[in-house]
Structure 1
């Protein structure tokens, strides 16, 4: 007796095969470009930007030691920009292993940037970002950016005030993430987080000449919170409000990423501080998360052209447009659970 196969199942299997072949074809195009690129393009440009951020820190500490308003303000600005580059761009690239081809060096940079510079635990950071957010992008309850939802806060507080507390909240959340880790990892993380925080505090006291602990701590808070608003905004703008998927019925990768990820336009300040993969190349980053910021920018024309040729969405919107959307639809997007769209179940 023959098997009974419904037309719907056959069509579903054909759709899945087609989506897989599309992803494989796009991957070949991108990999060809990567192989033809120099080390400077693959990693050198981004490593140089990170090095430049560290090299500006001595000037920032010295400017903060001056009593004039303008040099002091410039020192605060330099330290804030350097901190954003190191803790956002640096931690993001390090978490993906995009700073080195060596696995050992990749692990070292992840621990350095995430724990020493970012005041978080590397293991939990990689787990949440790589194994959850990237693996389950816009899958409800898994990778839908739900960790940034604080439904009891009014929209103005959530969007414009609460993000300023990120520098305080981050190490506190890190402590909670240590549960279940080995004693050696707990000790390492606590030591490195304290080392990173105390190093900045010590330099403000002994190099910048701050006379009180309160003044040094306030300076640390201001510098570390300088880019907290756009950091939280970018985290929610590029995924929330886009199609969501059921954990049990989800589409193939190329369909999932093209429907659930959005690019923001080029922005000179945020391109440098956060990196292209978090701003104007977020679609490319989710399709090819191993690429550095500069390589995401280089393959962007290839990816956008290919997706448009294959009639797949290539979603883009401006920062102000997304901000207006979230402000006016805050209850719908951030307080209530996102609706499951018609895309759920496409295989």
Structure 2
């Protein structure tokens, strides 16, 4: 990895971040509630309201209608589990801490089948607090060096719906009994209700066919979900804990934006696709607000001659496919930042 250029004084980095924060705050203050939170809340509500239509489509013997049902349920599932969980863990859905906690329990535990507290700890505290710091927030949880590139990029994503609740069970061994029982109850509720709807609303005749449909809908967007999680950090500069850069440099160097992709914008949210840099700099902003401040952030970073990493989904896919051993198997190299202590 080539050394990355950076300012000679850390004080300059703090000044730059302060200037950028002031510009973004001006945009947020000038925005309505609808822009700040309403748009994303509406997308989540629409996804919930679309679920009955998806389950009813699965009753049809018409293959096209059945396929529409699978598509609706799959997209809605990822909108609730990825977009909903992501916004809730960052307290971006409501100004109320109480309601954010309730929404996190619903989206993370009931919908996603994963403990909300571990999701917050792993994503908010570690990944955001130590972005691209080796061994802490470097996305290493997505590395499986025992798998070859073909299995990892094409087959492993199908296992995400199965592995997620299994990892959740392992995590619950490390928490108190009361907390474990509550989380286990909410996870079980979400999984069983999905299964029950397939049997009693969609009309599946056997448990096996209902479970197969659950797996299909829950893995519909698993490939881009896995890919996005590695494309936007791995392969970019990595830092050691004792020499990590200041926040503005950490995020501008170690985060990458993908282009607008309509289905993924809807299901994953702008903050995970085309506004990932903005999200890492301002993690409590909603997806819609990240999109609104994007021109301000990109212009500022470019004017200050700071990196603003962007690349296409296909370009990143082939980069990872060609350099899989380097990025996903071997230990990452530490980037030396000129001028930073």
TM-score grouping bracket, smaller chain normalisation = over 0.9
User: Is residue 222 of structure 1 aligned with residue 222 of structure 2?
Assistant: no
Change (3 A) 1:335 1:344: farther
TM superposition shift of 1:341: 1.6
Structure 1 residues without counterparts, runs of 5 or longer: 1-11
What TM-score does the superposition give when structure 1 sets the normalisation length? 0.95
Which residue in 1 is equivalent to 2:257? 263
1:219-272, Cα deviation, whole Å (9 max, x unpaired) = 000000000000000000000000000011111000100000000011111111
Quick check: 1:249–1:344 contact (8 Å CA) kept in 2?
Answer: no
Q: Secondary structure at the match of 2:259?
A: coil
User: Are positions 1:293 and 2:287 aligned together?
Assistant: yes
TM-score by length of 2: 0.97
State the Cα deviation string for residues 274-315 of structure 1 (Å, max 9, x = none). 000000000000000000000000000000000001010000
The answer to whether the 8 Å contact 2:7/2:339 transfers is no
Partner of 2:19: 25
Alignment of 1:133-282 (within 5 A): 133-282=127-276
Residue in structure 2 matching 1:304, options 253, 273, 298: 298
Determine the C-alpha separation between the residues in 2 that align with 1:30 and 1:95: 21
Describe how 1:60-139 pairs up with structure 2 within 5 A: 60-139=54-133
Higher relative contact order by CA 8 Å / sep ≥ 6: 1 or 2? Answer: 2
Q: Distance in 1 between matches of 2:256 and 2:67?
A: 35
The aligned length equals 336
Distance 1:326 1:159, change over 3 A: same
Deviation at 1:179, TM superposition (A): 2.6
Query: 2:3 matched to which residue of 1?
Result: none
Q: Is the 8 A contact 2:8 2:338 kept in 1?
A: no
Partner SS, residue 101 of structure 1 = coil
Q: Deviations over 1:168-201 (max 9, x none)?
A: 0000001111132121110011000000000010
Q: Is the 8 A contact 1:246 1:345 kept in 2?
A: no
Indicate the structure (1 or 2) with the bigger Cα radius of gyration: 1
Using the TM superposition, give the Cα deviation of residue 344 of structure 1 relative to its aligned residue in structure 2, in angstroms: 7.8
CA contact under 8 A between 2:7 and 2:338: conserved in structure 1?
no
Unmatched runs of 5 consecutive residues or more in structure 2: 1-5
RMSD across aligned positions (CA): 1.2
Q: Distance in 1 between matches of 2:238 and 2:338?
A: 7
